[in-house]
Amino acid sequence: MSRYETNVVLYRLKKDSAFRDRFRADPGSALAGADLTDEEREAFMRWDTRKLNDLGGSLHLLISIPGLAGH
Partner 1 sequence: MGKIVYAAAMSHVLYPDYYSQNVGPHGRRMVEALIDVVRDMGRTLAAAAPDALVVVADDHLNVFSFDAVPALCVRVGRSVNRMVQDNAIEFDRALEGLPERYPVHEDLANSILERGLQAGFDFAASWSAPLDHAFLSPVSTLYGARPVPPLVPFWVNCFVAPQPTAQRCFAVGRHIARVVAEGPWKVAVIATGGLSHFPELSLARVGQSDVAFDRRVVKWMEAGNYEPMTALTAKELHESGSHELLNWLVLLGAVSPARARTRFFGEMGRIDLAALEWDVA
- CA separation for the pair 20, 10 (Å, rounded): 9
Helix or strand holding residue 20 (H, E):
helix 17-25
> Under the criterion CB under 8 A, does residue 61 sit at the interface with partner 1?
yes
Residue 58's closest CA among 19, 22, 5? 5
Cβ proximity to partner 1, 12 vs 27, nearer residue: 12
Total residues contacting partner 1 by CB under 8 A comes to: 24
Which segment (23-31, 32-40, 55-63) binds partner 1 by CB under 8 A?
55-63
Q: Please answer whether residues 7 and 56 qualify as being in contact, where contact means their C-beta atoms are separated by less than 8 angstroms.
A: yes
Q: What is the binding site for partner 1 (CB under 8 A)?
A: 4, 7-8, 10-11, 14-15, 17, 49-50, 53, 58-67, 69-71
